[in-house]
Chains A and B, each alone.
Chain A
Amino acid sequence: MTERHSTVKPYQTALPAGFENLRYGVVVRPPHYRWNGEHFTCDRLAHVDTSALKTLPYDAKAVVEGNFVGVVASSIENARDAAKRLVLSWQPHDPLSATPTQQARVNEESRQTQAHKTTGIADVEGGQAERYERDYGWPSRMRWGETEGWVVAESRNDRLEVWTQTSTPQALRQDLSTLTALDADHIALYTSEEAERHVASGLGRHCGDDAAVDAALMARALGHPVAVWLDAQYNVDVKALGQAQRLSLSAVFGEGDHIERYRYRQAHASGEVAAVGLFLSGRTLVPGVLTDTEKPLYSPYTFQNAHLSAHTGRPSGQPLNDTLLGIQQTFARESFLDEVAHARDQDPLALRLHYLDDARGRELIESVAKRADWRVNTPSRIASSDVLQGRGLAYAQLPDRQQRLESGGRSAWIADVEVNRITGSVQLTRLVVGQDSGVEVDTARLQHTLQARVLGEARPLLGSEPAFDEWGNGSLEAKKELPLAKRQSSLERQVVTPNEASSVLPVPLEDTEFSPGVAVIANALFDATGIRFRQPPFTANRIRQALQEQDLEASQGRDSLFLPRKSKAPRRQWLAAAAFMTVAGSAAMAWPWKGAIAPVSRPAANLYSAETIERGRLVAAAGDCAACHTASGGAVNTGGHAFETPFGTLYSTNITPDEATGIGNWSYAAFERAMRHGIGRDGRHLYPAFPYTAFAKTSESDLQALYAYLMTQPAVSAPAPQNNLSFPFNVRALMAPWNALYHDPKPFQPDPAQSELYNRGAYLAEGLGHCSACHSPRNAMGAEKDGKYYFAGAIVDGWEAPALNTLSKSPVGWSESSLYDYLRHGESALHGVASGPMAPVVAGLSELPEYDVRAIAHYVAQQMEAPSGDTEAQQVDAQQRLAVAAVSPSGMEEGERLFEGACAACHLDNGLPSFTRARTSLALNTNLYSDRPDNVIQSILGGVHADTVPGVGNMPGFADSFSDTQVATLATYLRARFAPDAPPWQQLEQRVAAIRQPHHNNTHSSL
């Protein structure tokens, strides 16, 4: 029987109102628990001490049933806090204690796994025969859920009501019935409209079901309605439950290049592993009766000697999920045939047609292939970006309700995907679907449904038309071509809001219609990457990891990223031309992979502990978010600060949790991707003025804390100004190859050879502190240079960020302690104050603990090869410079007059006390010793605004009172007087004129 969304009633709001005595629950899972394919094993709860709960200032109760432990309190924060105070003692699970039968099964399983590993894909089996053998898997939980949200259960008067997200209501109802011993009629399931759109996807269970059982279990135990927060934390269950299905296929080719024997074996036909709460509470430990019967399966292909079997280990009486079964079968079979075709260097399409006797099926596949322009041996495209392109084919044919194959439905899919090598994200760029249902096809309905399930679920970024072509009714009428060219103009303009997306109504699909959906992507992914993914889901994470492993292997003896990495998989020229516009232009997102990360509701402020938020505040201070994300005079973090770059003007964006203009609807996953990979929630590439190249090094826990902090700040509505970049830099998609060349998303790795202080400093300086973003020069493409150029100094925003390595021009050498003074207090006795864009950096650092600032100073000092403290030689050097500078050079009367009039009151020490005298002599100022006059000119024109550094006065800007000539004359004088051993600067007046532009109103230059 097929699961239908109609078994679930929708509700409107995230958390249904009107619960009396609603409590919030959290669960504490055992340290170890897992599903091995047939059995659930877990650590045993030996002892639990709940006495600590009685001493808490709030009411908290523990729910303990078997190995299930939950804590319920009046707020989620209290529940989490209370859960930490439970004293639990777990007795580790001992695999030796398993019963002999169970042990035998485990052995059998591991033997098979082992055999599979050693066999490889092609074994020569006597003579000409070749044997192919492959295992495919299907996970117990496809993912933790659809979106973060509350799951609520209320148990009252022999009736259970559950508000949750589920894609398998049938199985959930079964679990809840097992839990409560209630009849299914007495269990009501509700789901939000948002979640309801996912119900029809038929991919199998996710942890919304586990959370529902958790909530129901606690609600029943306490007699209160209980809310559980479903989020990525439930990934622990996903991992623990592992694989639900193992699908083993083999084929033997005999002489004449023909499959002589074909075998399909499915280990467990039900595929729906019960909720973790049921196992833990001891309600479902062993399936009642293992019905080891063989269920006849279907294959659309005709092989000489075919053996198809499914061994079910489900309890008798539990209904089969036929939709899931169909998708699983199709996935394994179509992946296997694709693998075999590639291994034998055959066209996957021709191989299928060879074994397909069904005339209507053949006609359908051929038509779809023609429509999709399927070609054998297309030439390789020039691989010059980090976007890999691939194409896959899958076909399904399933019997009708009377189990007749010939009158059942047929469905053929060809999908084109693009895989971002850096992020692992997959975009479905084109999908051609052919459908023959045996009866008249309602094309409007099919189109609607595909849109809802393939595109609607992933929220297409752009465009009003779904990016697929579609036929129906066997007549194969061609419809719209994917309008690639047309979309170019809509770049970055239309983002479908959740409301628009949810207006696409989900309509139930026939089983056949969707079953090639998983296989077609797996095959296209293989074509694109050369990597075979044998178990869904194909998350960006998994793909990225696989690609990184592949890179690692490929990197032996090869240093270019762009050499072709495989010879088998054909690449298609015709796509290359459209590649960029397709990435940013149509950007239809693949199901079940999300290029755009679905928007979420802003997480509730009380979700995060005060400690987490405080940690996040420090992370934000270290990362100096506010410095760039706050415009002069604007509210903190609302963006709009302009960056003048060689490529045009960029504006920072609003990072307050406003849902419309800020990051309020960013999930953590989206936030993390932006920080590590420079890709916005909607899938757009961000420009590296946002230093994700450095932020990528931030640790996971710091990023989470930062997310918590930002999400709990006041939301302010502030749309970002339009960037003004010149072509081609305004094409965000070009950031894809840029990232491949210049971005290494690898998190920070401490150097074991270095001290803890050094590694802490390196983590902060290279990561959050993004020191090199300003202090390392960039190449023509705007990427930081490394190696000997690391920390070699650069011009940023019209200011020179001085060298922080051995190239430092500082008149008196730096020491670790002077660096610390400078970073901690904004001022160092032998070097002066932090000004320009460095002033807000120091302001940010002032929030950090002393140890962290010391660590940064230590790390930078190492780059400079600087001593730990100021040496006597440095003191002597400083005194000599001061003595020389005490005398005004002769022959520079004009400059001297300007200096005396404008500067001397603060910059000349007459031996008398003055609160507004600059404490550090210009003779020790690094800027006057630089090869470039930029910072001196900047300071004269715009002043020095060290508002944020305590105890330091401001220098006024002289843009309005000095002409270019006067500034140049003054700068010449300053150089001659205070840096007498450095050569005079040349062409100062032109430089002043160039730098003056932003200062015409005598405004701040630093912020």
Chain B
Amino acid sequence: MTLKLKVNGQNVELAIPPTTPLLNALRNDLALNGPKYGCGLGECGACSVLVDGMAARACVLTVASVVGREVTTLDGLADKGRLDPVQQAFIDAQAAQCGYCLNGMIISIRSLLNHTSTPSSEQIGAALEHHLCRCGTHLEILDAAHRAVALNAMALGGVDD
């Protein structure tokens, strides 16, 4: 039995058990290593991906549960070589130390900005609340998030022009 998924805009078919965790399929079968394996329990957020534009923890999803939906990983955020504003903001803010959590941070802010282009500081905090960072770059990450809001607004403005 093959499962038909749409990942980063590409249609893919996987011949794997439908109960395979999405994270495993992405990393092992599709070689998309943006999402990281952290706790495996949906607690840390390192594995986050976008499903239909919403943040999702790929370790607690099965492949079957995303059939017919659009999955976007960190690897697929850039558009033709042009980084997503959120990615650019995290680079600009040099938000990484070990960088293991950054996949989840970026995905979660992307999900937030898909929901509202003008989030409050509380909303930014809420979006990042259940993403764990162990090496202590919390302040840089918050800076990056705020910068991402601004870059995103500029990018949207650019589109409007």
Instruction: Name the one of B40, B54, B130 contacting A915, with C-beta atoms under 8 angstroms.
Output: B54
Instruction: Name the one of A900, A902, A912, A954 contacting B62, with C-beta atoms under 8 angstroms.
Output: A954
Instruction: Name the one of A911, A950, A954, A955 contacting B126, with C-beta atoms under 8 angstroms.
Output: A911
In the complex the two chains form, what is the Cα distance from A956 to B64 in whole Å? 16
A-facing residues in B81-122 (Cβ within 8 Å): 111-112, 114-115
> What's the minimum C-beta distance from B19 to chain A, rounded to whole angstroms?
5
Binary interface encoding of chain B residues 47-71 relative to chain A, with 1 for a CB under 8 A from any of its CBs, else 0: 0000111111101111011000000
Task: Please state if B115 and A954 are interface contacts (CB–CB under 8 Å).
Answer: no
Task: Please state if B111 and A956 are interface contacts (CB–CB under 8 Å).
Answer: no
Known contacts A952-B65, A954-B62; decide if A912 and B40 are in contact (CB<8 Å): no
In the complex the two chains form, what is the Cα distance from A954 to B112 in whole Å? 23
Task: Please state if B52 and A910 are interface contacts (CB–CB under 8 Å).
Answer: no
Task: Please state if A956 and B59 are interface contacts (CB–CB under 8 Å).
Answer: yes
- Chain A residues lying within 8 Å of B65, measured Cβ to Cβ, are 947, 950-954
B45 within 8 A of A: yes
Binary interface encoding of chain A residues 748-763 relative to chain B, with 1 for a CB under 8 A from any of its CBs, else 0: 0000000000000000
B43 within 8 A of A: yes
- Chain A residues lying within 8 Å of B62, measured Cβ to Cβ, are 947, 953-954
Task: Please state if A956 and B41 are interface contacts (CB–CB under 8 Å).
Answer: yes
Instruction: Name the one of B61, B114, B129 contacting A910, with C-beta atoms under 8 angstroms.
Output: B129
- Chain A residues lying within 8 Å of B114, measured Cβ to Cβ, are 913
In the complex the two chains form, what is the Cα distance from A958 to B114 in whole Å? 32
Task: Please state if B115 and A905 are interface contacts (CB–CB under 8 Å).
Answer: no
B153 within 8 A of A: no
> What's the minimum C-beta distance from B34 to chain A, rounded to whole angstroms?
17
In the complex the two chains form, what is the Cα distance from A953 to B56 in whole Å? 10
Task: Please state if B43 and A901 are interface contacts (CB–CB under 8 Å).
Answer: yes
Instruction: Name the one of B18, B59, B111 contacting A914, with C-beta atoms under 8 angstroms.
Output: B111
Known contacts A953-B60, A955-B60, A956-B40; decide if A912 and B111 are in contact (CB<8 Å): yes
Binary interface encoding of chain A residues 889-916 relative to chain B, with 1 for a CB under 8 A from any of its CBs, else 0: 0000000000011101110001111111
Report the nearest A residue to B127, measured CB to CB.
A912
- Chain A residues lying within 8 Å of B130, measured Cβ to Cβ, are 900, 904-905
In the complex the two chains form, what is the Cα distance from A913 to B51 in whole Å? 11
In the complex the two chains form, what is the Cα distance from A345 to B91 in whole Å? 107
Known contacts A902-B43, A905-B45, A910-B126; decide if A916 and B18 are in contact (CB<8 Å): no
In the complex the two chains form, what is the Cα distance from A901 to B64 in whole Å? 27
B123 within 8 A of A: yes
Task: Please state if A913 and B41 are interface contacts (CB–CB under 8 Å).
Answer: no
A961 within 8 A of B: yes
Task: Please state if A915 and B60 are interface contacts (CB–CB under 8 Å).
Answer: no
Interchain Cβ contacts within 8 Å, total number: 74
> What's the minimum C-beta distance from A926 to chain B, rounded to whole angstroms?
22
In the complex the two chains form, what is the Cα distance from A952 to B55 in whole Å? 15
B76 within 8 A of A: no
> What's the minimum C-beta distance from B18 to chain A, rounded to whole angstroms?
7
In the complex the two chains form, what is the Cα distance from A519 to B55 in whole Å? 80
> What's the minimum C-beta distance from B101 to chain A, rounded to whole angstroms?
13
- Chain B residues lying within 8 Å of A913, measured Cβ to Cβ, are 53-55, 111, 114-115
- Chain A residues lying within 8 Å of B56, measured Cβ to Cβ, are 914-916, 953
- Chain B residues lying within 8 Å of A904, measured Cβ to Cβ, are 129-130
> What's the minimum C-beta distance from A501 to chain B, rounded to whole angstroms?
42
In the complex the two chains form, what is the Cα distance from A950 to B68 in whole Å? 11
Known contacts A953-B61, A953-B65, A955-B60; decide if A912 and B123 are in contact (CB<8 Å): yes
Task: Please state if A956 and B42 are interface contacts (CB–CB under 8 Å).
Answer: yes
In the complex the two chains form, what is the Cα distance from A901 to B41 in whole Å? 10
In the complex the two chains form, what is the Cα distance from A958 to B42 in whole Å? 11
- Chain A residues lying within 8 Å of B43, measured Cβ to Cβ, are 901-902, 905
> What's the minimum C-beta distance from A922 to chain B, rounded to whole angstroms?
15
Binary interface encoding of chain B residues 130-153 relative to chain A, with 1 for a CB under 8 A from any of its CBs, else 0: 100000000000000000000000
> What's the minimum C-beta distance from A957 to chain B, rounded to whole angstroms?
9
- Chain A residues lying within 8 Å of B18, measured Cβ to Cβ, are 947
Q: Max chain A CB contacts within 10 Å: which of B40, B54, B65, B115?
A: B65
> What's the minimum C-beta distance from A515 to chain B, rounded to whole angstroms?
63
- Chain A residues lying within 8 Å of B41, measured Cβ to Cβ, are 902, 956, 958, 961
Report the nearest A residue to B111, measured CB to CB.
A913
Known contacts A905-B130, A910-B129, A953-B61; decide if A915 and B42 are in contact (CB<8 Å): no
- Chain B residues lying within 8 Å of A947, measured Cβ to Cβ, are 18-19, 62, 64-65
Known contacts A914-B56, A947-B64, A956-B60; decide if A905 and B42 are in contact (CB<8 Å): yes
> What's the minimum C-beta distance from B21 to chain A, rounded to whole angstroms?
8
Report the nearest B residue to A954, measured CB to CB.
B60
B-facing residues in A930-954 (Cβ within 8 Å): 947, 950-954
Report the nearest B residue to A900, measured CB to CB.
B130
Task: Please state if A905 and B126 are interface contacts (CB–CB under 8 Å).
Answer: no
Known contacts A950-B65, A955-B60; decide if A914 and B42 are in contact (CB<8 Å): no
Task: Please state if B112 and A912 are interface contacts (CB–CB under 8 Å).
Answer: yes
- Chain A residues lying within 8 Å of B59, measured Cβ to Cβ, are 956
Instruction: Name the one of B40, B57, B61, B123 contacting A905, with C-beta atoms under 8 angstroms.
Output: B57
- Chain B residues lying within 8 Å of A952, measured Cβ to Cβ, are 65
In the complex the two chains form, what is the Cα distance from A956 to B52 in whole Å? 22
Q: Max chain A CB contacts within 10 Å: which of B43, B59, B62, B112?
A: B43
- Chain B residues lying within 8 Å of A906, measured Cβ to Cβ, are 42, 57, 60
In the complex the two chains form, what is the Cα distance from A953 to B43 in whole Å? 14
Report the nearest A residue to B55, measured CB to CB.
A914
Task: Please state if B61 and A916 are interface contacts (CB–CB under 8 Å).
Answer: yes
Report the nearest B residue to A913, measured CB to CB.
B54
Task: Please state if A916 and B19 are interface contacts (CB–CB under 8 Å).
Answer: no
Instruction: Name the one of B57, B60, B61, B126 contacting A912, with C-beta atoms under 8 angstroms.
Output: B126
In the complex the two chains form, what is the Cα distance from A961 to B64 in whole Å? 26
> What's the minimum C-beta distance from A953 to chain B, rounded to whole angstroms?
5
Q: Max chain B CB contacts within 10 Å: which of A910, A951, A952, A953?
A: A953
Binary interface encoding of chain A residues 596-607 relative to chain B, with 1 for a CB under 8 A from any of its CBs, else 0: 000000000000
- Chain A residues lying within 8 Å of B112, measured Cβ to Cβ, are 912
> What's the minimum C-beta distance from B64 to chain A, rounded to whole angstroms?
7
Q: Max chain A CB contacts within 10 Å: which of B51, B52, B62?
A: B62
Report the nearest A residue to B126, measured CB to CB.
A910
- Chain B residues lying within 8 Å of A912, measured Cβ to Cβ, are 111-112, 115, 123, 126-127
In the complex the two chains form, what is the Cα distance from A951 to B40 in whole Å? 20
Task: Please state if A914 and B40 are interface contacts (CB–CB under 8 Å).
Answer: no
Q: Max chain B CB contacts within 10 Å: which of A954, A958, A961?
A: A954
In the complex the two chains form, what is the Cα distance from A905 to B19 in whole Å? 22
In the complex the two chains form, what is the Cα distance from A955 to B61 in whole Å? 9
Report the nearest A residue to B51, measured CB to CB.
A915
Report the nearest A residue to B48, measured CB to CB.
A916
- Chain B residues lying within 8 Å of A905, measured Cβ to Cβ, are 42-43, 45, 57, 130
> What's the minimum C-beta distance from A822 to chain B, rounded to whole angstroms?
18
A-facing residues in B25-46 (Cβ within 8 Å): 40-43, 45
In the complex the two chains form, what is the Cα distance from A947 to B17 in whole Å? 11
In the complex the two chains form, what is the Cα distance from A590 to B51 in whole Å? 67
Task: Please state if A916 and B123 are interface contacts (CB–CB under 8 Å).
Answer: no
Task: Please state if B60 and A916 are interface contacts (CB–CB under 8 Å).
Answer: yes
B-facing residues in A873-889 (Cβ within 8 Å): none
> What's the minimum C-beta distance from A907 to chain B, rounded to whole angstroms?
10
- Chain A residues lying within 8 Å of B57, measured Cβ to Cβ, are 905-906, 916
Q: Max chain B CB contacts within 10 Å: which of A911, A916, A952?
A: A916
Can you identify 24 A-B contacts, CB atoms within 8 angstroms?
A900-B130, A905-B57, A910-B126, A910-B129, A911-B126, A912-B126, A913-B53, A914-B54, A914-B55, A914-B111, A915-B55, A915-B56, A916-B42, A916-B57, A916-B61, A947-B64, A952-B65, A953-B61, A953-B65, A954-B65, A955-B60, A956-B59, A958-B41, A961-B41
Interface residues of A (CB under 8 A from B): 900-902, 904-906, 910-916, 947, 950-956, 958, 961
12 new A-B contacts, CB < 8 A, other than A915-B61, A916-B56, are A900-B130, A902-B43, A904-B130, A905-B57, A910-B127, A914-B54, A915-B54, A916-B60, A953-B61, A954-B65, A956-B59, A961-B41
6 shortest interchain CB distances as A-B pairs: A915-B56, A905-B130, A915-B51, A910-B126, A915-B54, A913-B54
